[in-house]
Structures are given as structure tokens and as C-alpha cells.
């Protein structure tokens, strides 16, 4: 068996920023521009045209190729549509960097993200993944705050964003992103694998990238109940040993959450809300102009305050 390459010593550049793109040409320029504006210069950009069919997106790729022929900072890969995992894998296979930053074509990074992440990874070889807070823009605005890393919590929910800087060695040890996870959460699967391999995670408590919220994004598809159940079942079966080892904590946490929901349900606030809904449905039928006005009025404080829901 061939020995695994030591990416810590043979890397030509520090960071490879990999950007998969499927018909998102209208956003791609902003994503690439955010990397070019970085105050850390030891990077390369690998963009994957994952079988795009949109004429505008194809024109954007052609323009990139005309503007930067032979540019050592940027490489474009054209392939048939393989999905997000397949596109990222194609880019990382070609990557020369010691560290990897997956950046979706509709998102952006802040100028100091790469520098701060590299400083942490260079200072501690046991840390494999660095993640940070995000600024939400697009259809929702606000700050997306993540908790410090907790291994047991990671088994219950994916709180490490896909746009995290990690060692290429992790991708090699975990056999890349799982190409069968076409629905989504392929990053969650990779983070669990990294944790199983003993890698540490580090949170930077600063906003260092910008996450575009779109109604028809891939994440919205993950939140469809049937899709979500399918993803959870697959991850539990794939990492069965890890989940079984932590079963006590998982059950305890789920019971605590269930108790919290029951306390909320039994509270006066919940009862008052149910009375409001009954009154609304009786006197303001669904689909009427009065109902639309009432719903807008009910949600107006949240809209004005810029409050956001979960991802």
C-alpha cells in the first residue's frame, strides 16, 4: 500500500480555496473577488464548473479564462454535474494547498479570514478545522453565531459551517466528501469523520465570512422533513460505532430538549398563542386580504428588528 502523502511538508501553497459552481454565475464574481481581496496572499483558487447549463454562467467562466490565462492563482475545472461533494472532491484532488477552504459560489469571505485561520493551524498541529461566525445577507440579515466545539453536540447537529478552513490531510484520511450525499450535509459527515480521527476544532469568535440566504438554496432542501430524516439515518448508520459509544449523552440531551418543549407547551405564553391562532382562523380566514394584513402586522416587529430564524 502506498504511504499517504504528507501534505504538511509537500504543499506548494498554504491555502487552496475551492469554489464549486452550478449555474450560479451571477454570484461567482463576488465570491472570487472576496478571495482576491484577502490580506493573506499565499493561496490558490480552484473553481469547478459542475456541469452548468445556464448561458450566463458559461459566459462568466469564459470571461474568467480570458482574463486570467496562465494565472497561477486561479484554475478552472470543467466537468459533468457530480453534485457538491463531487465538485469539491475534484477541486481538492488538484489542490496544492496544505489547507483547504470550501467556498460556495454564492458566498464570500472577509479579508482577514485566511490569515487568522492559518495562524491557528500553523501554531497547533492537533487542530484540524477552524471555523468562524458568519454575516447573513440576502433574504435574511443578521449574525450567525456558532458555539465552541463540543464533540457530543456535533453528533446531534451540524454547527460547524461548510466554509471552514481545514487540513487537506483530513480530506485524505476521510476519503473526501461522500459523493452519495447529494441532498446535503456532506460537510457534517466530514466533520464527524475528522472528530473520529482525533482532530481538534477551533472557533474564531468573529464574523469572517458572508453567507447568502436564498429561498431555493440547497440548505432549504435539507430541511424538508423526509430529506432530513434520510440524512440523519444515513449519517447514524455510517458512523454507527461513534453514535453507539455516545448513546447515553444523545438520549439525555434529547430528553432535555423534549422536557423544554413540554414546559413551553404548558406555559401561559403558549396557551395565549394558541388562542390567537384560533381567533385568527375563525375571523380572518386563510387567503383573504384581511388575513394577509393581519399576518403582516403580527410579524412586523420581527421584520423591523431584523430577527432571523435558524438556517
Nearest by Cα to 208 from 96, 289, 98, 132: 132
Q: Are 74 and 44 in contact (CB under 8 A)?
A: yes
Between strands 97-102 and 74-79, the pairing is unpaired
Q: Are 212 and 294 part of one and the same domain?
A: no
Q: Does a structural domain hold residue 182?
A: yes
Residues 253 and 294 in one domain: yes
Q: Give a yes or no: residue 241 inside a domain.
A: no
- Return the axis-axis angle of helices 247-266 and 268-283, rounded to nearest 10°: 60
Query: 29: domain range?
Result: 7-233
Report the predicted TM-score, pTM, of the whole model to 2 decimal places. Answer: 0.78
Q: How many domains does the chain have?
A: 2
Same domain, 225 and 128: yes
Nearest Cα neighbor of 145 from 96, 203, 186, 105 is: 203
pLDDT of residue 307: 45
Q: Of 201, 233, 265, which closes a domain?
A: 233
Q: Is residue 1 in some structural domain?
A: no
Examine residue 175 and state whether it is found in any structural domain, yes or no. Answer: yes
Q: How far apart are CA 249 and CA 155, in angstroms?
A: 10
> Could you list the pLDDT tens digit for every one of the 311 residues in the chain?
334 445 555 568 999 999 999 999 999 999 999 999 999 999 999 999 999 999 999 999 999 988 776 567 899 999 999 999 999 999 999 999 999 999 999 999 999 999 999 999 999 999 999 999 999 998 889 999 999 999 988 988 899 999 999 999 999 999 999 999 988 889 999 999 999 999 999 999 999 999 998 776 655 555 666 777 888 888 988 998 888 887 766 666 655 555 544 554 555 555 665 666 666 666 667 667 666 666 665 554 444 444 444 44
Q: Are residues 202 and 270 in the same domain?
A: no
- List Cα–Cα distances, 304 to 121, 137, 138, 213, 301, in angstroms: 40, 15, 16, 18, 5
58 and 193 housed in the same domain: yes
- Classify residue 170 as left (phi > 0), alpha (psi -120 to 50) or beta: alpha
- Residues 18 and 118 grouped into a single domain: yes
Looking at the domain assignment, is residue 238 inside a domain? no
CA distance 104 to 21: 7
**In a 10 Å sphere around its CB, with 0-12 CB exposed, 13-18 middle and 19+ buried, how is residue 305 labelled?**
exposed
CATH number at residue 36: 3.90.550.10
> CB burial class (10 A; 0-12, 13-18, 19+) of residue 114?
buried
Predicted pLDDT at 167: 98
Tell me the CA distances in angstroms from 244 to 7, 130, 238, 250, one per residue in order: 32, 27, 11, 9
**What is the C-alpha separation between 153 and 159, in angstroms, rounded?**
8
Among candidate residues 233, 265, 281, the one where a domain is terminated = 233
pLDDT given for residue 190 in this prediction? 97
CB neighbour list of residue 34: distance below 8 Å, 6 or more residues apart: 103, 108, 109, 110, 111, 210
For residues 99 and 18, what is the distance between their CA atoms, to the nearest angstrom?
11
Amino acid at each position: 500500500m502506498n504511504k499517504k502523502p504528507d501534505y504538511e511538508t509537500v504543499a506548494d501553497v498554504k491555502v487552496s480555496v475551492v469554489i464549486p459552481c452550478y449555474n450560479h454565475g451571477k454570484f461567482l464574481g463576488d465570491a472570487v473577488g472576496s478571495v482576491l481581496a484577502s490580506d493573506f496572499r499565499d493561496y490558490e483558487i480552484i473553481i469547478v464548473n459542475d456541469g452548468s447549463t445556464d448561458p450566463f454562467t458559461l459566459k462568466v467562466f469564459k470571461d474568467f479564462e480570458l482574463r486570467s490565462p496562465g494565472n497561477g492563482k486561479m484554475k478552472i475545472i470543467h466537468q459533468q454535474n457530480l453534485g457538491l461533494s463531487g465538485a469539491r472532491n475534484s477541486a481538492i484532488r488538484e489542490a496544492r494547498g496544505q489547507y483547504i477552504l470550501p467556498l460556495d459560489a454564492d458566498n464570500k469571505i472577509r479579508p482577514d479570514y485566511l490569515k487568522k485561520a492559518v495562524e491557528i493551524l500553523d501554531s497547533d498541529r492537533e487542530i484540524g478545522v477552524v471555523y468562524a461566525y458568519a454575516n447573513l445577507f440576502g433574504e435574511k440579515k443578521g449574525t450567525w453565531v456558532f458555539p465552541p466545539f463540543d464533540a457530543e453536540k456535533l453528533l446531534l447537529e451540524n454547527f460547524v459551517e461548510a466554509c471552514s478552513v481545514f487540513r487537506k490531510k483530513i480530506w485524505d484520511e476521510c476519503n473526501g466528501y461522500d459523493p452519495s450525499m447529494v441532498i446535503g450535509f456532506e460537510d457534517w459527515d466530514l466533520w464527524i469523520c475528522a472528530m473520529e480521527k482525533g482532530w481538534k476544532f477551533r472557533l474564531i469568535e468573529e464574523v469572517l465570512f458572508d453567507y447568502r440566504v436564498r429561498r431555493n438554496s440547497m440548505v432549504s432542501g435539507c430541511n424538508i422533513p423526509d430529506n432530513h430524516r434520510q440524512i440523519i439515518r444515513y449519517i447514524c448508520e455510517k458512523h454507527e460505532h461513534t453514535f453507539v459509544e455516545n448513546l447515553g449523552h444523545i438520549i439525555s440531551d434529547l430528553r432535555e430538549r423534549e422536557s423544554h418543549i413540554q414546559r413551553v407547551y404548558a406555559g401561559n405564553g403558549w396557551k395565549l398563542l394558541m388562542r390567537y391562532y384560533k381567533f385568527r382562523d375563525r375571523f380572518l380566514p386563510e387567503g383573504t386580504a384581511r388575513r394577509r394584513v393581519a399576518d403582516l402586522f403580527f410579524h412586523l416587529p420581527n421584520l423591523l428588528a431584523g430577527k432571523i430564524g435558524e438556517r
